[in-house]
Structure 1
Amino acid sequence: MVLATAGAGGWGSRWRRIQLLPRNGTGLLWPAGLSLEGWLLLAAVIGAASGLFASFFYVLLELATSLSARIVGIEAPLRGYTDLGIAVVEYGNGLHTRLAVLLVVVAAAAVSSLIVYRIAPEAEGHGTDAAIKAFHRLAGYLRPRVPLVKAVASAVTIGGGGSGGVEGPSALMGAGVGSALAQWLGLGLWVRRTALVAGMAGALSSLFRAPMGTALFAVEVLFRRDIAVEALIPAIIASVIAYAVTLPFWGYGEVFPRVSVETRLLYTADALVAYLGLAVVSAGFGLAYVRMFHGARGLFERLIGRRWLRPIAGAAVTGAIGLVAPCVLGSGRQLLTKFLEDPSILLGGLQDSSGLAALVLVAVALAKMAATSMSIGSGGSGGVFAPGVMAGALLGYAYGLVVGTPLSGVDPLVYAYLGMSSFFAAASKTPLATSVMVAEMSGNYGLLVPALFVSYLAREFSGEASIYESQLPRRIRPELISIEAVSAMLGRLGVRAAEVCDKGLQPLPASATVAEAIEAMARQRQHVIPVVDHGGRVLGVVDASMLEELLAAPPDAPLSSLGLRRPIVVSEDDDIAGVIVVLEEASGEGLDHVVVVDRGLRYRGVIRYQDVAAAILESYLRGAQRLARAAGSPQRRSVEKTL
């Protein structure tokens, strides 16, 4: 490992120029730009930082929950509660308390919305999808303010009774820490994107105490049917370090209680048939969760024009659901732990009646799915993993009561754990990660193989729909070996995006009209027009695929009123080898270009495939000319004669 610093001017400037360079190329399982030793150092720092930051968020969440409980008159402990619904059920289940909770849920959403939309709008919604979007579309860039804004806004939302999980906020916070550190060190696109993934893994590991599962989640959640293999080692390093650093704060026990089961019962023919039925149930409800979530988001977008008002409206609906079922308020993680320890917290005296108990559990699961769709689908700040795991566990337990246990003799709690994994695998397309996470969080490693079996089946039965919209189907097709060859060649030449991009494609301000956009496309014969704000930052693009929409819109309508196409951006300092990879990813979404920006996300140009081809030819010609001049120069011939 080589530590190279450049320039003078103190330690700050020197550290900003540090580069951990590979001695003999890079390995197959870690990304270009750093040696394995370099990744050991960088991923360890990212893991420690992201883990501590996520722990800070969790403490904030506990304090916010306690404050909300005290506002409604519940004397809950200052620490230890992250689900307001549990506090309501255990300490104050009267109607006046529930009405007060409704007001708190709405007020918390208003405060959170004000924080997000005034400071960092990219922190809205479930943070995991924002991190995925930053990986695929924003060249691994997240503004350094995003982690802090996400932590505060999510703590207020969830602590105030909003139905959202800690996974989304912690994933975005960790991604922000990794991205900010890579930017501070001046590292390139390859390293920056991988650092973002490592940060996600570290933050998730500290909160879920599942280092292997969260590392797999960070690399699996980026694609619907693939894994970012090159980011796996950095993600594991960051995850393990975060787990080790934060474990003393949270204790050494598992998140969920263990369940004892005879291993031989897990692999009988009856059990396999029962798993198949559970996979069908999980796939159906998982798909319903996805449809419900995206449907709620689309509904709020159509009905409410101002983005900052949507989370408040969604919170009002969530609070209304909480009047009937207060157990859905909060993340659901704490309620789920208590349910797995003692199902009577939800079932009361119904445990002896399997049919009625199953109906109650299904109703609570649906209420949790609906509340989460309202809270987070409307733009509120929180995650979708913990609510999904809670719903999956309740559905799995209900299935076990009615079908699984009578058929196979396996305890309903086993089906609750399998339901956790298979339900969210169907909703998020992460069957490997969720299976390993459930095994780690519960300490029930004997359930890993059945969980994998059920989860992969549920993923297949549920089709391609995913709760994470920014996921891509898969990585670059492995048969595109020419792309890898070109990338390697241009990487050796040191070509940067700023040297290749077409700076002649002029952007339009968001205030420009539809008529101006059509005129620009016709006059300049450019099929893509970047749209920027008053500071030159890219907001979106108008391209040929929107021509029908442009012609149907009023000529004097501003471009900001249209559904601009989301751009995929790269930095002007990124090497062209990485840009080619991003271009290929863009082609999977029907795009033939990427937008080049500076570190402030201000527009600098556009790169298309023809620009890359021109750069290849130009680099080749320059190299050939240099060789010709060196071989034919009089000075060289004179030196050769003298020798």
Structure 2
Amino acid sequence: MADKKRKGATGILRRPLLNIKRYMIKFQDNRFMYFSRWLFFGLMIGIVAGVGAIIFNALIRLFRFIFQNTLEGYYSPRPELMGHTGAPPHVVLVHWLFLIIPAVGGLFSGLLVYTFAPEAEGHGTDAAIDAFHNKEGFIRGRVPIIKTLASSITLGSGGSGGREGPVAQIGAGFGSVLATFLGLPVPERRKMLVAGIGAGIGAIFKSPLAGAMFGVEVLYSDMDFESGSLMLAIVSSIIAYSIYAYFYAGFKPIVLVPMFTYTRPVTLFFYAIMGFALAFIGQFYVRFFYGVHSFFEKIKIKPHFKPMIGGLLVGIIAYFLPEIMGVGYGWLQLAVLGKISLVMLIMIGLFKIIATSFTISSGGSAGVYAPSLIIGGMFGGAFGIIFHMLLPHVILQSDIAPFVLIGMGGFFAGVAKTPISSLLMVSEMTGSYGLLPPLMLVNAITFIVSGKRSIYSKQKKNRMDSPAHSKDYLIEPLKKYSVKDIMKDENFAKPIKPEATLYEMITVFFNSNFTIHPVVDADGRIIGFIKYATIKNMMMNTPDDERVAKDIMETKKIPKIKITETLDIVVHNFFRKKTDELFVVEGKTEKYRAIIRKRDVLVVINNAENIFKNS
């Protein structure tokens, strides 16, 4: 009885879901609704990413309250409080728990991830990049959920990492799941995945433009972009940011700074020196990060327990330097305010690299974006202080804070190969656009000087190197040829007269290699077509049928192409009209000339593929 009720309830839910799916498929096939449907998809992805960012941030606060505030008695600085901790009076710090709590968080995180979704380990943005390039944009529905829980435990217990990876996976995962549910083609599923990345980043950093740009830029290590996804990413990022800011985080920038302006070109020289230094520090970060990853891969224990070891190592560092725990925006706020000494800036920057590597490269779950901003900001502030100490009349006291901000963007531009989104990110995170010229310079230097290695190992060099676009480059040679160029005598299929009998039509198909034949009038124009399946059905079931060709021909959506069209247009029509054969017509009167088949075009594509592989 209970099973019947359960099946009945499932059926009740399934019917409206199927109706929604049918409606959306009709919706996507209507060319007049093309832009509307993408707006709708962007809205859906943005809503889920925005709500996901709220839930994720709330979970981090919950676990931070349990592990750090309640058990350890530790309160980190908060940027919205201008670097103050907001700790209650007479709080007791239980220092020895710093050694244990991050390891406990790593254990819980490892058990969650490796039991239910092993692909959620590490930093989530890299997993989304890998799904785009190598998995046709497919992400399992459970991955964002497990990533959210595991990362919130990791960060709440004091692990060193960022929030962007899990939120990017929430948005990307929903985009992928929605596209799969609606049966959208793989290229469109990839677009929705990219939009999800942009939405997640735009929400959690309160940077909608930078988030959208990051989604299309982070896929490649060269200056290449997934430009076809940008508009959808912008829509979803705006929605996600609006929901996250309005209902939860507010619209103030994450880091509160004065309105800085660029007025002294002499400082560019010192910013350039810092850019070169940050490029080399960034390469050390990337090499150390993946060196630690290789070290943990060699440890012969179950991967479930490796994040616990990473957490223990983080705990040892945190015992002496608690500034490296968690995300760390509060320390960034203090650096901007000039309240951290030179030695402490260097210490936080250096040990943030080490702690982040131990947290994530051991298999722990968190993002690498925020730690990179913290590292860059700390070293940027250190360079600002050093330059001020050496040349106090050139680099003023007021110039130190801009070095922090420019260090944030420049460092991440080099380690992640995202110079444009890093530029926008710092501007939106701080609400300050007055430092764009020096920020552009430093980003360009770190991007070029830092070499080819990236913190995102799944990036491809460019679109040509990506499996997602390998076929695009095979399409290019097709633009050089028209239908007329590849027509041969074997492409001519005998037309059928409107008055042809069933016997005559059977004779035509019996002597043909085509599955469709045109019905033409006295002037040679196609007035309809007949399928082999139709004739076969009549021959088997109604062999005495006296109807002629004009009575059984199909007249709607005749699959035809002009003889002057290039082959890339032919390929597009094959898929749009869902056919393997197209009637070739010529002139203004569209007289019938031949039939072009997929296999005719495949010969040209295969030749192009051989040339592509050899090059």
* TM-score, normalising length: structure 1: 0.67
Could you say if the C-alpha distance between residues 71 and 244 of structure 1 is closer, same or farther in structure 2, counting changes exceeding 3 Å? closer
Q: Deviations over 1:289-342 (max 9, x none)?
A: 1011101000111123421122111111111111110110111123323443x4
More off after superposition, 126-135 vs 305-314: 305-314
- 1:66 alignment partner in structure 2: 65
Aligned alpha-carbon RMSD (Å): 3.4
Q: How big is the shift at 1:259?
A: 2.6
- 2:544 alignment partner in structure 1: none
Q: How does 1:48-447 map to 2 (within 5 A)?
A: 48-74=47-73, 97-225=94-222, 226-248=224-246, 249-265=248-264, 268=265, 270-340=266-336, 342-344=337-339, 347=340, 357-403=341-387, 406=392, 407-409=394-396, 411-447=399-435
Could you say if the C-alpha distance between residues 231 and 311 of structure 1 is closer, same or farther in structure 2, counting changes exceeding 3 Å? same
CA contact (8 A) 1:98 1:326 kept: no
- 1:16 alignment partner in structure 2: 21
Q: 1:198 & 1:621 partners in 2: Cα distance?
A: 33
Could you say if the C-alpha distance between residues 131 and 111 of structure 1 is closer, same or farther in structure 2, counting changes exceeding 3 Å? same
Code of the aligned partner of 1:118: T
CA contact (8 A) 2:79 2:330 kept: no
Q: 2:148 & 2:89 partners in 1: Cα distance?
A: 27
Could you say if the C-alpha distance between residues 420 and 621 of structure 1 is closer, same or farther in structure 2, counting changes exceeding 3 Å? closer
Q: How big is the shift at 1:187?
A: 1.2
CA contact (8 A) 1:119 1:149 kept: yes
Q: How big is the shift at 1:360?
A: 2.6
Code of the aligned partner of 2:295: L
SS at match of 2:361: coil
Could you say if the C-alpha distance between residues 190 and 182 of structure 1 is closer, same or farther in structure 2, counting changes exceeding 3 Å? same
Q: What runs of 5+ residues in structure 2 fail to find an aligned partner?
A: 1-12, 481-570, 585-591, 595-615
- 1:41 alignment partner in structure 2: 40
Q: How big is the shift at 1:418?
A: 0.2
Q: 2:117 & 2:261 partners in 1: Cα distance?
A: 51
Code of the aligned partner of 2:285: Y
CA contact (8 A) 1:39 1:234 kept: yes
Q: How big is the shift at 1:36?
A: 2.3
SS at match of 1:466: coil
CA contact (8 A) 2:212 2:233 kept: yes
Q: 2:88 & 2:410 partners in 1: Cα distance?
A: 28
Could you say if the C-alpha distance between residues 622 and 184 of structure 1 is closer, same or farther in structure 2, counting changes exceeding 3 Å? closer
CA contact (8 A) 2:98 2:316 kept: no
Q: 2:402 & 2:478 partners in 1: Cα distance?
A: 49
Could you say if the C-alpha distance between residues 81 and 257 of structure 1 is closer, same or farther in structure 2, counting changes exceeding 3 Å? closer
Code of the aligned partner of 1:231: S
Q: 1:620 & 1:22 partners in 2: Cα distance?
A: 16
SS at match of 1:72: helix
Q: Deviations over 1:141-175 (max 9, x none)?
A: 11111111111100001100111110111111211
Q: 2:184 & 2:89 partners in 1: Cα distance?
A: 51
Larger Rg: 2
Q: 1:374 & 1:76 partners in 2: Cα distance?
A: 22
Q: 1:80 & 1:461 partners in 2: Cα distance?
A: 32
SS at match of 1:264: coil
- 1:608 alignment partner in structure 2: none
Code of the aligned partner of 2:68: A
CA contact (8 A) 1:282 1:419 kept: yes
Q: 2:184 & 2:90 partners in 1: Cα distance?
A: 52
Q: Deviations over 1:166-219 (max 9, x none)?
A: 011111121111111111222110111111111111122121111001111111
- 1:473 alignment partner in structure 2: 461
CA contact (8 A) 2:95 2:319 kept: yes
Q: Deviations over 1:442-484 (max 9, x none)?
A: 0111112321221111110100010000000001389997623
Q: 1:262 & 1:9 partners in 2: Cα distance?
A: 58
Q: Deviations over 1:531-590 (max 9, x none)?
A: xxxxxxxxxxxxxxxxxxxxxxxxxxxxxxxxxxxxxxxxxxxxxxxxxxxxxxxxxxxx
More off after superposition, 113-122 vs 239-248: 239-248
Q: How big is the shift at 1:115?
A: 0.7
Q: 1:333 & 1:188 partners in 2: Cα distance?
A: 40
More off after superposition, 306-315 vs 480-489: 480-489
SS at match of 2:63: helix
Q: 2:17 & 2:456 partners in 1: Cα distance?
A: 38
Could you say if the C-alpha distance between residues 16 and 424 of structure 1 is closer, same or farther in structure 2, counting changes exceeding 3 Å? same
Could you say if the C-alpha distance between residues 81 and 419 of structure 1 is closer, same or farther in structure 2, counting changes exceeding 3 Å? closer
Could you say if the C-alpha distance between residues 167 and 51 of structure 1 is closer, same or farther in structure 2, counting changes exceeding 3 Å? same
CA contact (8 A) 1:422 1:454 kept: yes
Q: When the two structures are aligned, how many residues end up with a matched partner?
A: 469
Q: How does 1:500-515 map to 2 (within 5 A)?
A: none
Code of the aligned partner of 2:125: T
More off after superposition, 418-427 vs 238-247: 238-247
Q: How does 1:516-595 map to 2 (within 5 A)?
A: none
SS at match of 1:313: helix
SS at match of 1:259: coil
Q: 2:89 & 2:423 partners in 1: Cα distance?
A: 31
Q: How big is the shift at 1:126?
A: 0.5
Could you say if the C-alpha distance between residues 295 and 10 of structure 1 is closer, same or farther in structure 2, counting changes exceeding 3 Å? same
Q: What runs of 5+ residues in structure 1 fail to find an aligned partner?
A: 1-7, 26-33, 348-356, 490-611, 633-643
SS at match of 1:446: coil
CA contact (8 A) 1:88 1:326 kept: no
Code of the aligned partner of 2:19: R
CA contact (8 A) 1:290 1:466 kept: yes
Q: 2:476 & 2:294 partners in 1: Cα distance?
A: 43
- 1:517 alignment partner in structure 2: none
Code of the aligned partner of 1:55: I
CA contact (8 A) 1:98 1:322 kept: no
Q: 1:476 & 1:166 partners in 2: Cα distance?
A: 31
SS at match of 2:435: helix
Q: How big is the shift at 1:93?
A: 8.1
Q: 1:298 & 1:480 partners in 2: Cα distance?
A: 34
Q: 1:481 & 1:173 partners in 2: Cα distance?
A: 29
- Aligned identity (percent) is 32
CA contact (8 A) 2:199 2:237 kept: yes
Could you say if the C-alpha distance between residues 278 and 89 of structure 1 is closer, same or farther in structure 2, counting changes exceeding 3 Å? farther
CA contact (8 A) 1:259 1:414 kept: no
CA contact (8 A) 2:409 2:422 kept: yes
Q: Deviations over 1:1-40 (max 9, x none)?
A: xxxxxxx983211222323436669xxxxxxxx8222211
CA contact (8 A) 2:259 2:434 kept: no
Q: Deviations over 1:34-92 (max 9, x none)?
A: 82222111111111111111111000000110010244252869x9999xx96899986
* TM-score, normalising length: structure 2: 0.70
CA contact (8 A) 1:74 1:91 kept: no
More off after superposition, 167-176 vs 431-440: 167-176
Code of the aligned partner of 1:484: I
Q: How big is the shift at 1:389?
A: 0.5
More off after superposition, 412-421 vs 397-406: 397-406
